[in-house]
């Protein structure tokens, strides 16, 4: 019996005015695909602390967390594939010199329509749309 366990990760839909921050992934899985920044939680690390750490590492940006968007899953498609559980938050850009870092090839603030057209996954599109509700409140 396999000892594999789901991998817990956090993601941030970072809003800056009418723009959304996306990264272009620099490593597998999904290398070269555009997505929201985020990453794996470390053992004993609170979710929001892990999110702020990952966003700073990947983009150079500091954020204010506005609230929870939702929980999404990427189930294994074949034996040996990882099972990710992703907890996505809406965030507001606070400061920092935006630059791709860690495992990102590129990072950019994009208009919402452009961001929605670049992301490869429906769950990510739903997360971006979910974050917009926080921007209006």
Give the model confidence (pLDDT) of 20-76 as tens digits: 999 998 887 678 899 999 999 999 999 999 999 999 999 999 999 999 999 999 899
The reply to whether 55 falls in a domain is yes
CB-count burial class (<10 Å; 0-12, 13-18, 19+) for 58: buried
Cα three-residue angle 112-47-105, rounded to 5 degrees: 50
Q: What is the CATH number of the domain that holds 85?
A: 3.90.79.10
pLDDT band at 99 (very low <50, low <70, confident <90, very high): confident
Which ranges of the chain would DSSP assign to H, the alpha helix? 47-59, 112-118, 122-136
Q: Do the domain assignments include residue 2?
A: no
> Are 52 and 62 a contacting pair, CB within 8 Å?
yes
Report if residue 11 sits inside a domain. Answer: yes
Domain that holds residue 108: 7-136
pLDDT of residue 3: 63
Q: How many domains does the chain have?
A: 1
> Mean pLDDT score of the chain, rounded to an integer?
92
């Amino acid at each position: 019996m396999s000892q594999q366990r789901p991998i817990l990760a956090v993601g941030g839909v970072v809003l800056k005015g009418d723009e959304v921050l996306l990264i272009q992934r620099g490593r597998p899985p999904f290398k070269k695909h555009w997505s929201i920044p985020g990453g794996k939680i470390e053992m004993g690390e609170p979710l929001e602390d892990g999110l702020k750490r990952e966003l700073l590492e990947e983009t150079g940006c500091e954020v204010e967390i506005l609230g929870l968007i939702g929980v999404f899953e990427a189930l294994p498609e074949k034996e040996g594939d990882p099972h990710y559980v992703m907890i996505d938050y809406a965030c507001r850009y606070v400061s920092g010199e935006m630059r791709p870092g860690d495992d990102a090839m590129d990072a950019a603030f994009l208009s919402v329509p452009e961001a929605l057209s670049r992301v490869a996954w429906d769950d990510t599109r739903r997360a971006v749309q979910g974050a917009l509700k926080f921007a209006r409140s």
